[in-house]
Structure 1
Amino acid sequence: MFPEMLQFHIASYIDVFVKWLTVEWGSTFNVLTNLILLLLLKIQSGLMFVPWWLWIAAVAAIRWLQTRRLVKTAGLIILLMAIGVFGLWAEAMETLAIVITSVTIAFAISIPLGIAMAESDRINAVATPLLDAMQTMPSFVYLIPALMLFGLGKVPAVIATLIYAVPPLVRLTNLGIRQVSASVQEAAGAFGATRWQIMREVRLPLAMPSILAGLNQTTMMALAMVVIASMIGAGGLGEKVLISINRIAVGNGFEAGFAVVALAIVIDRTTQGLARRWQPPKVN
């Protein structure tokens, strides 16, 4: 046993800090909550407005244009059909709305931060340990600050998912920009391009495959976190999984889990196909 005289607890200090935040910044959190909730509800209503058959047709068309292969296209169609057959279409759209909301906010945060890290070694040195800590932290830990500051519901689920999913996109944006050939940048500068023009017209387009790979990873991590965030009221497929676990309903849990996997595969394949379109042509 560790000696009691050497123990020191910070729980009381954290409680005081959280109370101070809720009192002093409560109105700010309320505004942020309303903005995120408005965006989430708009996205969710838009997803639910589109008929199921049109979603399947759209995914099939995108996959066919990406691969030109019937088997791969049919595979995604079967996965989407299985979600509907199990009666989980509405829950899947609810989960997808949270993922899209989280990834949209993550994209708005990650791209500027990744550019700043690529431009400044000092910012990169400060941000890298933070990203390391965020990626090594157990996913359940992210539920705690979201729950403390935003309570229960979909908004704290979005916040927790956002924090968990941001690092890959930031890292790969930074990495992609840093890997752009120095000779290409020097050539652009020789033609009179400014630093911002080089970033916008040269570095970002050439880094796009890496950025889109980061977007794919962020989306996958967001989908994984949404299932865990059902513990604080995220709803959707994660809630079905959680209820099935609590009731030891193996069959229902399998259906909900399969729907999560199917949704993940569909998102992964379509986003990977988008990333491949930005890959530079191979030189033989």
Structure 2
Amino acid sequence: MAEKSWLQDFPQMERGDLIAIRKTLDGAYRDFSREFGDTIEAFFDPLLTFLVWFEQLLLQTPWWLVLAVIVGLVWLASRSWKLTAGITVAMLAIGYFGMWDNTMRTLSMITVCTFMAILLGIPIGIIMARSNRAQSVITPVLDVMQTMPAFVYLIPVVMLLGIGKVPGLIAVIIYAIPPVIRLTNLGIRLVDKEVLEAATAYGASSTQRLFGVQLPLAMPTIMAGINQTIMMALAMVVIASMIGVKGLGQPVLKSITNQYFTLGLLNGLAIVALAIMFDRVSQAWAKRSQKHLGGAGHA
């Protein structure tokens, strides 16, 4: 006779009770969506307007002008001929293989998501750094955001706002924002206390210490957080394509469902090219900024 498993004696919720709880929660969320869905959608209308405008700007501007602007920004940020030449070749290859429009759509989405993540994430990181209580409250939320499967983010957002750009934007921001919050908090907390004491001795206020000492010294760590946020946003692009976000993710999704190997590979490489561009440029800019800060400090 088989030995009785201890799991059989473990107290479990009755199936009927579990179904009732699920139905209650689902019904409450549906009621919330019907009641406040339009209001929440109206709240995000300005962001949607800006995203559509920026996307159309990239799509309707001649490709050579967009390429010139991208190459110019890369050069100004990195001052590296090798990186600038490499990104120029990559963007020309993207255009040659017919992926320019989707790349511009993805670029617009990632740019807007990154700016929104920075605008929201850095202030939250500052609040965490200045208050242990805030850190103890926000840290578990960030843990959940980083460990929750990316697909799960899409469920409540789609139920609330349907499919389209705004739900995709919200899902990408939620998925990508934790690194910039965490590393902003970490960077500020790692600033040498003796430096802060010296600033206080010179009569600096709390705000002056924050903007004049802590944030400049924490900038390399903050830039690492922004870098990770960009990488996570790019990783979310393919998943966001499931809810109607146009760009490089949709051909990848199409290649998975229809087994188009070359289509998926080329669009995947285009995403890699964007990731390398953002990664190398942000790192180079952070290093150059830190050198200027170091030179100013020695002076």
TM alignment of 1:1-284, pairs within 5 A: 6-7=14-15, 8-9=18-19, 10-65=21-76, 69-280=80-291, 281=294
Amino acid at match of 2:143: D
For structure 1, which segment, 11-20 or 66-75, has the greater mean C-alpha deviation from structure 2 after superposition? 66-75
Find the aligned partners of 2:172 and 2:53 in 1 and give their Cα distance: 18
Cα drift, residue 183 of structure 1: 1.0
Q: Contact (CA 8 Å) 2:51, 2:112: kept in 1 or not?
A: yes
Superimposed CA distance per residue, residues 9-64 of structure 1 (whole angstroms, 9 cap, x where no aligned partner): 44313312212222332232121231221121122123224432233333434444
Amino acid at match of 2:45: N
How many residue pairs align between the two structures?
A: 283
For structure 1, which segment, 115-124 or 76-85, has the greater mean C-alpha deviation from structure 2 after superposition? 76-85
From the superposition, tell whether residues 69 and 120 of structure 1 become closer, same or farther in structure 2 (CA, over 3 Å). Answer: closer
Find the aligned partners of 1:186 and 1:29 in 2 and give their Cα distance: 45
Cα drift, residue 125 of structure 1: 0.7
Question: What are the ranges of 5 or more consecutive residues in structure 2 without an aligned counterpart?
Answer: none
Share of identical aligned residues, percent?
Answer: 47
Find the aligned partners of 2:167 and 2:252 in 1 and give their Cα distance: 19
Q: Contact (CA 8 Å) 2:251, 2:267: kept in 1 or not?
A: yes
- Please report the RMSD computed on the Cα atoms of aligned residues, expressed in angstroms: 2.2
Q: Contact (CA 8 Å) 1:107, 1:169: kept in 2 or not?
A: yes
Amino acid at match of 2:235: A
Cα drift, residue 67 of structure 1: 5.3
Q: Contact (CA 8 Å) 2:158, 2:167: kept in 1 or not?
A: yes
For structure 1, which segment, 238-247 or 13-22, has the greater mean C-alpha deviation from structure 2 after superposition? 13-22
Find the aligned partners of 2:121 and 2:195 in 1 and give their Cα distance: 25
Normalised TM-score (structure 1): 0.92
Amino acid at match of 1:170: I
Q: Contact (CA 8 Å) 2:124, 2:181: kept in 1 or not?
A: yes
Amino acid at match of 1:239: Q
Q: Matched residue of 2:69: which SS?
A: helix
Amino acid at match of 2:183: L
Find the aligned partners of 2:13 and 2:166 in 1 and give their Cα distance: 41
Q: Matched residue of 1:152: which SS?
A: coil
Q: Contact (CA 8 Å) 1:33, 1:150: kept in 2 or not?
A: no
For structure 1, which segment, 73-82 or 126-135, has the greater mean C-alpha deviation from structure 2 after superposition? 73-82
Question: What are the ranges of 5 or more consecutive residues in structure 1 without an aligned counterpart?
Answer: none
For structure 1, which segment, 237-246 or 61-70, has the greater mean C-alpha deviation from structure 2 after superposition? 61-70
Superimposed CA distance per residue, residues 221-249 of structure 1 (whole angstroms, 9 cap, x where no aligned partner): 11111111000100111011111211111
Q: Contact (CA 8 Å) 1:106, 1:165: kept in 2 or not?
A: yes
Amino acid at match of 1:96: L
Find the aligned partners of 2:221 and 2:151 in 1 and give their Cα distance: 28
